[in-house]
Amino acid sequence: MGDSERDRWAEWILNRRHGGDPEERKTHLETLAPVREEVLKNAGILDGEIVLDVGAGDGLIAFGALERVGSHGRVIFCDISRDLLDICRSLAQDMGAENRCQFVLASADRLTSIAESSVDIVTTRSVLIYVADKQQAFNEFHRVLKPGGRFSIFEPINAYFASSPEFFWNYDTRPVADLVTKLRAVYERAQPRDESDPMMNFDERDLLEFARQAGFEELRMDLHVEIVSGVWWGSWEAFVKASGNPLAPTLGEAMAAAFTPNEAAELEAYLRPLVDAKQGTKRQAVACLRGRKSS
C-alpha cells in the first residue's frame, strides 16, 4: 500500500507523526515503551484472559498484551482504521499468532460488534482524546467487560496547560510572534482549539467522572506533569514534515499556507537553530486511569 493510499490515521502513525524519518520514529517508539509498560502493568493481565485494545493503532499495547495472555488468551485489536488493522493482522501472521488475535473495525464509543460481558480487560492509549462523546466510550467499556473486568487507559490532557503565545511546538517564539500568529490561524482553521475540539474538552477530573458515571469501581489515577528543557527532534527536516496529530497539518504545510517565501525563510532562520540545538521546553500532562467493573 502506497503512502497516498493510506487513511489519515495510518498515515499519521506510520509517517507524519515522526516526519517520515526512521531515526525519529525509532526515538519516538523508545519514548512510548514506558507508556506501554504502565498501561499493561495497570491492567494486571493474567494468563488466558481476553484483552480488548481500543484504538490499537499499529499494535503498541495490543502486541504487548499478547505476550501476557499466553497461549490460551486472546487479544482483540480494535481501531477505526482498516489500514492499521490490516498492518496489525500482517504482523500477527508473521509472528504465528493470528489464531490468538481478532481484528475489529469500530470506534471507542460504538463497540457494537463486541458482545456484552465478553472481555476481561479494556486498554487504550491516546484514544479518548479524539472521541467527542467520552462518556459513551466509558459506557461501552463497561458494557463489554465481564463482571470483575478491568480497564487501563493513558490519555494526554491537552487542556492542562492554558494556550500560551510564548510557546509554539515547544519553542519560545516571541521574537517572531507576528509570523506565529499567522501559523496559528492555519492550525485553527484545520482544528479549532476550543471546547468543540475533543482534544481540548476534558481534563483528568472529567475522566474520573466519566468512569464513575459508567459504573466503574476502585478507580485509581496517576497524573504525570512535565515541564522540562530539551525536545526530541533530531533534525529540522523531520520537524517540518511532522504533524502533531492526525487532524493537523505539518509545520511545512502550515508555513506554505501562511507565508510568503521571505516569511518562511525568516521563521526558519529563527527556529531552525533552536531545533538543532534542542532548545525547547517540553510541557506535557498525561493521566493513567484504571478501574474495575463490579463482580
Locate cell 490460551: which residue?
A: 72
Q: Residue 2: pLDDT above 60? A: no
Taking residues 108-114, what's their average pLDDT?
97
Q: Residue 226: helix, strand or coil by DSSP?
A: strand
pLDDT in tens, 13-40: 999 999 999 999 999 999 999 999 999 9
Contacts of 80 (CB under 8 A, 6+ apart): 9, 55, 105, 106, 107
Beta strands of the chain (E only): which ranges?
A: 50-54, 74-79, 101-105, 119-125, 145-156, 167-168, 171-172, 216-229, 281-293
Mean pLDDT, the chain, rounded, equals 94
Could you tell me the residue ranges of all domains in the chain? 3-293
Confidence label for 1 from pLDDT (cuts 50, 70 and 90):
very low
Taking residues 53-77, what's their average pLDDT?
97
Specify the pLDDT at position 246: 93
Specify the pLDDT at position 275: 92
Q: Residue 53: pLDDT above 70? A: yes
- One DSSP character per residue, 31-100 reads HHHHHHHHHHHHHT--TT-EEEEET-TTTHHHHHHHHHH-TT-EEEEEES-HHHHHHHHHHHHHHT-GGG
At the second CATH level, the architecture of 3-293 is: 3-Layer(aba) Sandwich (3.40)
pLDDT in tens, 115-168: 999 999 999 999 999 999 999 999 999 999 999 999 999 999 998 886 666 778
- Grid coordinates representing 94 are 508473521
Specify the pLDDT at position 165: 66
Q: Residue 250: pLDDT above 60? A: yes
